[in-house]
Chains A and B, each alone.
Chain A
């Protein structure tokens, strides 16, 4: 009998259609899913593109040779120099208002004391820059000539690193909220219970949720990748199909996780709490804004196993380095496993009322 039913009248088709209609008829949801990632790219792209010249704040302790130091440093635009007494300098250093405090010795041969916190990157940079400037002022000659070449070619900039991360993050947020909220809302409305009272198959319902999620995601990904291309010239170095495959795998994995999280939650508050519990670590650890390689060696395997890390690493490998899907077998398999295992568990634990 089943093959005689037209595709349109099948329960799975109808469930997917219903979800799509509900989604596109809700303007706020459309904005949060499609508009938000783009706003984020714009904000971050602007923040990191038009970087002004890095300023270095240096305090000079009052003393007989203070003026000479100030003169020497003021020749370079990057130094912001001011003079304070010893106590004030100490306070300013402690509270992070200045990067470095310079004081001159009393002896006739030039001598400088540098006070700074060696764990602060800016302070270390300041110390080296100031030292370089003062040594030259004292007459040091460079042994070799050097030339600086600025590297900001597409593919290697921060924005090129950021876009795959934001893509992964938006797939995570969209998948989990999109599926999780919709399900809890239906449970509160007793719509799930109403469906249970029909001959509808559980698998049709849950698969319908995931498939509709995969469909919503198409414009989301196109908007994000297209915008990054047009506005910032972010290119995809690997194959477009590899990106499509990874995006589908990632969205499927997060929809599965969303389904699992929502499988028993009875209130919007409960599901929000659980979502945040699951997503927060991934926002911080999975390399959205900076590489997850910065975390200590011991925790890295655990971070690497998180679905967002897998997705981000794989997307970056394809988009930035032009890697092929076959070289990403581990990531692909692990993402597929996240999707199928969570779907199977959700199917088992799902509560309809």
Chain B
């Protein structure tokens, strides 16, 4: 059976002035039955990539195969077998939820019963409600329902939970998990690290149009050299100088030191070994700790290590 998605050396250049390269040579393979995330800040090229894979945008160069088929040769065949939710679609306000799903159902040769789909996204009570009367989370679930009604083998979701409250996000995650448990494939984009970590089998981290890391969330975090992060802040007066990373580098169980203006963070494999040594070192350097915390490493830490900046900074600089 062919891969769900395969693309190689994907490039998308917009001929603006100056020309913008949104995607610069991306290779991806998504297996059947996996939930795969494209993770990265806004402006990383995630939406451009997913829209090329969905056949909505033409790539400048590179090869794309979806379910073993190529865009331009078997478009109708591919569209019959994939489902999509765009980053932002405002469905017709004056149609009811059931009417909207029934309309989308009519476009597919085979598919699910619209009422069954509404049950799957927990909108059966809203079947007769106009789209304009739905909450943000309900609208997003309806958008996913429109993607599910053709009973697709492969579901594309572009930022499915952006702007939703925590409860609505969880509801959507449940829908995505349910779809994946049927052995179907999901490709989603997100800039939420926790979403990728909790929901997806594999994650591709992209930044500035390039793939910077690929693997399961566990592999990516393990790649940091320590699964824990120790963060602390030092007391500072007018005369104190900033601590340097060299002064902390050879501590046991510490694989990496990052000194930031307001705090220091360490990648640590064993907290119980590293912590006493750290406190001892600081005492000898005659520095006072004002704040200390430890936590499990996350994909955010992976992104910081690889991109050299926090996700929030990346968002701010791209905005």
Which residues of A are at the interface with B, using a C-beta cutoff of 8 A? 1, 9-11, 13-15, 17-18, 21-22, 25-26, 186, 189-191, 193-200, 353
Partner of A22, one of B55, B95, B150: B95
Partner of B108, one of A13, A196, A198: A198
Considering the complex, give the chain B residue whose CB is closest to the CB of A188: B90
Contacts of B88 in A (CB 8 A): 190
Which residues of B are at the interface with A, using a C-beta cutoff of 8 A? 54-56, 76, 79-80, 84, 86, 88-92, 94-95, 99, 102-109, 130, 146, 150
Is the CB–CB distance between A198 and B150 below 8 Å?
yes
A200 to B149, CA, bound (A): 13
A203 to chain B, nearest CB (A): 13
Partner of A198, one of B90, B91, B107: B107
Is the CB–CB distance between B86 and A21 below 8 Å?
no
Most-contacted residue by chain B among A17, A194, A196 (CB, 10 A): A194
Is the CB–CB distance between A14 and B103 below 8 Å?
yes
Given A11-B106, A199-B79, does the pair A194, B146 have CB atoms closer than 8 Å? yes
A189 to B86, CA, bound (A): 11
Is the CB–CB distance between B89 and A198 below 8 Å?
no
Given A198-B108, A199-B80, list of 11 further CB < 8 A pairs?
A: A1-B109, A15-B106, A17-B99, A18-B95, A18-B99, A186-B92, A191-B90, A191-B91, A196-B56, A198-B84, A353-B56
Judged by DSSP, the binding face of A is helix
Contacts of B103 in A (CB 8 A): 14-15, 17-18
Contacts of A21 in B (CB 8 A): 94-95, 99
Count, A-B residue pairs, CB within 8 A: 70
Contacts of A195 in B (CB 8 A): 107
A112 to B147, CA, bound (A): 89
Is the CB–CB distance between B106 and A13 below 8 Å?
yes
Is the CB–CB distance between A9 and B106 below 8 Å?
yes
21 contacts across the A-B interface (CB closer than 8 A): A9-B105, A11-B107, A13-B106, A18-B92, A18-B95, A18-B103, A21-B94, A22-B94, A22-B95, A189-B90, A189-B91, A193-B56, A193-B89, A196-B56, A197-B86, A198-B104, A198-B108, A198-B150, A199-B107, A199-B108, A199-B109
A191 to B89, CA, bound (A): 6
Considering the complex, give the chain B residue whose CB is closest to the CB of A196: B56
Is the CB–CB distance between B90 and A197 below 8 Å?
no
Given A190-B86, A190-B88, A353-B56, does the pair A198, B94 have CB atoms closer than 8 Å? no
Contacts of B109 in A (CB 8 A): 1, 199
A200 to B106, CA, bound (A): 8
Contacts of A353 in B (CB 8 A): 56
A21 to B99, CA, bound (A): 10
Partner of A190, one of B55, B76, B90: B90
Most-contacted residue by chain A among B79, B86, B92 (CB, 10 A): B92
B134 to chain A, nearest CB (A): 15
A11 to B107, CA, bound (A): 6
A40 to B248, CA, bound (A): 85
Is the CB–CB distance between A197 and B94 below 8 Å?
no
Considering the complex, give the chain B residue whose CB is closest to the CB of A192: B89
Is the CB–CB distance between B89 and A14 below 8 Å?
no
Considering the complex, give the chain A residue whose CB is closest to the CB of B92: A22
Contacts of B105 in A (CB 8 A): 9
A336 to B80, CA, bound (A): 35
Most-contacted residue by chain A among B94, B104, B107, B108 (CB, 10 A): B107
Is the CB–CB distance between B107 and A200 below 8 Å?
yes
Contacts of A18 in B (CB 8 A): 92, 95, 99, 103
A5 to chain B, nearest CB (A): 8
A348 to chain B, nearest CB (A): 17
Given A190-B86, A193-B56, A194-B84, does the pair A199, B92 have CB atoms closer than 8 Å? no
